[in-house]
Structure 1
Amino acid sequence: MMRRLARASAALAALLLSFGAARGADGPTLARVRDTGVIVIGYRPASLPFSYLDAQLRPTGYTVELCERIVAAVRSRLQLPDLEVRRVEVASATRMPLVINGTLDLECGITTNTAERARSQAFSLTIFVAETRLMTRGGERVQGLADLRGLAVASTIGTTSIQHLAKVNGQQGLGIRILGGLDDPEGFQLLRSGRASAFLMDDVLLRALLAQQGPGADDYRISDQALTVEPYAIGLRKGDPQFKALVDEVLAGLYRSGEIHAIYRRWFESPLPSQGLNLKLPMSAAFRRVIANPTDSPDPERYR
């Protein structure tokens, strides 16, 4: 009797030990998802074509699709066929705090990986490479911020674009009056209404805004000169290498198989679901290099 009890106790101890080891191997994010049966993703409601709401008010877009592939991998890894996906709307100013405080497991919008931001949160492999440019009304020939000395320039609050604008404005003493929009459409409206002489934002997002203007797009011009390079990535909680490894392996698998090209064409070179807009934006040479040699580097020089 005592021997049977001892064997049962040993078996239970081994089971608990293996369970603890499995949880440790999962890391904190996967362990929490396993315990709760819920994974939380952040989305943007109007950041075409990366993250926006479709006609049924469901999040969709390029980054959202990549995150759905990651969720499928989590579901398989944890053997949770009924895994609940909880979607939380975020804005430029709230996306990173919600990753840092643990609310979000995946930030599936548009976020540039920078060395400064990487001190507070982690990032996936690069999923897109943008460049910051100026949009002005069509009759104005503007290439750089120096051409806007003493004028009002709009950008979006909480972005690297508005940070760059403030930095250059201060360093060069341009006397630019900086106007901040809560999101990109609001920033564009500051230009459209005449309150701002230019709108500084990532080129792909400027193209998406113009595509929504119809014939009115001809009234605006995007500068040829790029001011900064912006490597986009999916935002992750810092200090969880196991979850980052899973995320990166999903993305690297899409890159190795070439499936990323079909995904890219769906969102950048085809009519967008629920929108009918086609950005007609070929894949950049910089992103092709990322696909060939995946990286999570925040260094802009890595992408030039």
Structure 2
Amino acid sequence: MKRRTLMTSALALAVFAAVPALAVADTLDDIKARGTLRAAIDLGSPPFGMQDANMQPTGSEVESAKLLADHLGVKLEIVEVTSPNRIPFLLTNKADVVVASLSISEERKQVIDFADPHGVIQVIAAAPKDVDIKSVEDLKGKDVATTRGTTNDKEATTQAKDANIVRYDDDATLVTALVSGQNNIMISAPQIMNAVNERRTNDPLEVKFVLKVNPYAVGLRKGEDALKAAINDWVKTDLANGKLNAIYKKYNNVDLPAEMPKP
């Protein structure tokens, strides 16, 4: 009797453990059955995600997510996130995918999967013209602003070890701090610098040096092979027909690379 009870308990545990895996494997079916793609998008990260004059979501990743939803034959539902909680929202099933200029990194690969890259983003150090900075060594002892939990934060932490890293919870707050002069040096993206300079016209920032070039991609939970294949088909299709490049150029003023870098 005891042996039968143990076997029954073991079987129950095995079935219970399998349920999350089954749920994950069926995400693409769930999206199509629901008729909506829940995409986690950071609307405080211009030009990737932001709000227009009518408080409507816009930006390159917003338009890219709409393209993806169209490719899947469903509507887009935006799940608003910040840089630090993009991945937690995905892992807790508050979103089906992350479409938020999510750079591919080895650390992130340990907890989530990535589709093929559909964009690129540089990590740069920027400061006003009269600030003499040519390398990470020149940042020693200086306040350097970045956004918490991003690959920019990672590069700032690992490469500018002797700087005083000042972390903000989202890109919008980072931009405000730089516009107000609370901080004058940043490690972030050229797009963030452009957003700063739109409002900091008297003393704009300029690129001092590039720390890294990162491809970014749609993030999804591990084990979602069918969803990953569908997203990769979208990337291949809309890179080839120029739709993704048109969106990227509209918001970044430059073309995507002729050949996307391998993550």
TM-score range, shorter chain: 0.7 to 0.9
The structural deviation recorded for 1:73 is: 2.4
The amino acid of 1:183's aligned partner reads D
Q: Are the structure 2 counterparts of residues 266 and 223 from structure 1 closer, same or farther at C-alpha, using a change threshold of 3 Å?
A: closer
Instruction: Report the CA distance between 1:84 and its aligned residue.
Output: 5.2
Aligned to 2:258, the other structure's residue is in SS state: helix
Give the aligned residue type for 2:187: L
Displacement after TM superposition at 1:94 (Å): 0.6
After superposition, where does 1:231-250 map in structure 2 within 5 Å?
Answer: 231-250=215-234
Bigger CA radius of gyration: 1
Mapped partners of 1:118, 1:137: distance in 2: 35
- For 1:208, which of 168, 192, 195 is the aligned residue? 195
| Separation in 1, partners of 2:54, 2:106 | 37
Asked if structure 1 preserves the Cα contact closer than 8 Å seen for 2:126 and 2:209, the reply is no
State how far apart, in whole Å, the 2-side matches of 1:262 and 1:131 are.
19
2:207 counterpart residue number: 223
Given the alignment, which residue of 168, 172, 185 partners 2:172?
185
Alpha-carbon distance in structure 1 between the residues aligned to 2:31 and 2:151: 31
The percentage of counterpart residues that share the same residue type is 24
Per-residue CA distance 1:52-107 (angstroms, 9 max, x = gap): 122332322212222112212222xxxxxxx5543211001111111122221122
In structure 2, the partner of 1:258 is 242
The answer to whether the Cα contact below 8 Å between 2:122 and 2:212 also exists between their aligned partners in 1 is yes
Shift of 1:261: 3.5
Residues 278-293 of structure 1 aligned to structure 2 (within 5 Å): 281-283=253-255, 287-290=257-260
CA contact (8 A) 2:126 2:208 kept: no
Matched residues in 1 for 2:181 and 2:241: separation? Answer: 47
What is residue 163 of structure 1 aligned with on the other side? 154
8 Å Cα contact 1:110/1:233 also seen in 2: yes
Q: Is the 8 A contact 2:114 2:218 kept in 1?
A: yes
- Structure 1 letter corresponding to 2:142: L
Cα drift, residue 227 of structure 1: 0.8
Q: Distance in 2 between matches of 1:39 and 1:220?
A: 39
What is the rounded CA distance, in whole Å, between the counterparts of 1:70 and 1:223 in structure 2?
A: 32
Q: Which amino acid aligns with 2:154?
A: Q
Amino acid paired to 1:136:
A
* C-alpha deviation, 1:197, in angstroms: 4.1
Change (3 A) 1:128 1:218: farther
Structure 1 contact 154–188 (Cα < 8 Å) conserved: no
2:126 corresponding residue in structure 1: 135
Tell me how far 1:34 sits from its aligned partner.
3.9
Q: Give the TM-score taking structure 1 as reference length.
A: 0.72
Question: Over the residues paired in the alignment, what is the CA RMSD in angstroms?
Answer: 2.3
Specify the code of the residue in structure 1 equivalent to 2:101: I
Aligned-pair CA distance for 1:224: 4.0
1:33 matches 2:10: no
Residue 96 of structure 1: which of 79, 87, 96 is its match?
Answer: 87
Q: Structure 1: how far apart are the matches of 2:247 and 2:186?
A: 29
Instruction: Point out where structure 2 has 5 or more consecutive residues left out of the alignment.
Output: 1-21
Give the AA of the match of 2:37: I
Q: CA, structure 1 residues 166+266, in 2 after alignment: closer, same or farther (shift >3 Å)?
A: closer
Residue 267 in structure 1 maps to residue 226 in structure 2: no
- Asked if 1 retains the 8 angstrom alpha-carbon contact of 2:44 and 2:82, the reply is no
Structure 1 residue 145 and structure 2 residue 136: aligned? Answer: yes
Alignment gaps of 5+ in structure 1: 1-23, 76-82, 269-280, 299-304
**Structure 2 CA distance for partners of 1:262 and 1:168, relative to 1, 3 Å:** closer
1:122-165 Cα deviation digits (max 9, x unpaired): 12221222211112123112122211211211111111111221
Cα offsets for 1:236-268 (capped at 9, x unmatched): 222111101111111111122233333333333
The verdict on how the C-alpha distance between 1:74 and 1:168 changes in structure 2, with shifts beyond 3 A counting, is same
Distance 1:205 1:232, change over 3 A: farther
* SS across alignment from 2:209: coil
